[in-house]
Amino acid sequence: MNAKPARVLLDNAIISAAELAEPSMEEKTVIWGDTQQVVEVVGYRKKTTGDASDQGEVDAIVTIGRLIREGAIAAYTYSELGFESFRRATPVRAFYALDGCHIASCLAPIERSKFRQTVNLGEYISKGGKKDRKRNSDLGDFNQIPFFEWLLCLDDNDVQSILIHGSEIGLTEFEVESFRQLDRFKFICGRLRSPENYPDAFHLWTAERNNIACFLTLEKTLRNIADQMGKSKHPAHRLRVSVLRPIALLQLLGVSDLDDVPIMADRCYDFTEGCK
């Protein structure tokens, strides 16, 4: 019998880094009739991090992608990560490490849209942190951080009132249970401390609520905080999800030989290469 696939929630940093290439231009000499001409050729070049350790983690996403395609990893995302993805630049699909991977959607513990609604998509997808508010002093409370701060301010009476009106709000049974477990989200936020980290706390809570074993990220600080929580003597104070970087996940799965990266550094590829 085949082993069950490892259930993994993918951070947006993973999906972004899976775009191994970036647009590039290179001058090439071509023969045109009886003359030689120098022309600019548009193509791709490998993105690099400038740090050997970090580059190794990014290159390991190629192996992660293969394991997803083979069914050894069941990959997930959800609405808040989806909104975050709208902040990225137009994706480059050439040499995409997650090409052909099925990434399923799991449930958000509490859907923000049931409590925060606006026609301004740009405001809705914003993180709402210090950088956003510095760029836009008129930013409202429809974005991520203000919503999470509102959840943290709810006391037992507030939660009970929300549950009483749950059917009018359109809460699912999953969301009702999430409100009953809101203290868990508050606990995780307390360990991550800064409001800037509340979106990550919500991602971790999402993984816990969906019984997803791992949150895959490239972030070092989040991994370190999770490691510290794992050392707690009190079981309730430990995360019920592992926060791992790609190489650590592969090691956990017993994979030591990494797949070759299909794009080499210091070489320009034309538009016919790396596309499937």
Q: pLDDT per position in the chain (276 positions), as tens?
A: 457 999 999 999 999 999 998 887 776 777 777 888 777 777 888 888 888 889 999 999 999 999 999 999 999 999 999 999 888 777 778 899 999 999 999 999 999 999 998 888 888 888 877 887 778 777 778 889 999 999 999 999 999 999 999 999 999 999 999 999 999 999 999 999 899 999 999 999 999 999 999 999 999 989 888 888 877 778 777 889 999 999 999 999 999 999 999 888 888 887 666 554
Domain termination site, one of 209, 225, 240? 209
CA 159 to chain centre: 29
Residue 275 lies in a domain: no
Distance in angstroms (rounded) separating the CA atoms of residues 161 and 194: 28
> Looking at the domain assignment, is residue 21 inside a domain?
yes
What per-residue confidence (pLDDT) applies to 276? Answer: 46
Beta-bridge mates of residue 45 = 22
> Which residue segment(s) compose the domain that 137 sits in?
107-209
Query: Is residue 197 located within the same domain as residue 224?
Result: no
Task: Report the C-alpha gap between 273 and 95 in whole angstroms.
Answer: 8
In angstroms, rounded to a whole number, what is the distance separating the alpha carbons of residues 139 and 128?
8
- Both 111 and 99 in one domain: the answer is no
- Number of domains comprising the chain: 2
Domain match, 195 and 118 both: yes
End position of a domain, from candidates 190, 209, 228: 209
Question: Residue 264 in 3-state DSSP?
Answer: coil
The answer to whether residue 75 sits within a structural domain is yes
Q: Are residues 178 and 96 in the same domain?
A: no
**What is residue 129's predicted lDDT score, i.e. its pLDDT?**
78
Are the beta carbons of 172 and 178 closer than 8 angstroms? no
Distances (CA, A) of 154 to 144, 151, 160, 170, 246: 16, 5, 10, 19, 36
In a domain, residue 260? The reply is yes
Which of 179, 209, 239 is the last residue in one of the domains?
209
State the Cα–Cα distance between residues 216 and 67, nearest whole angstrom. 14
Q: How does DSSP assign 127-140, residue by residue?
A: --SHHHHHH-TT--
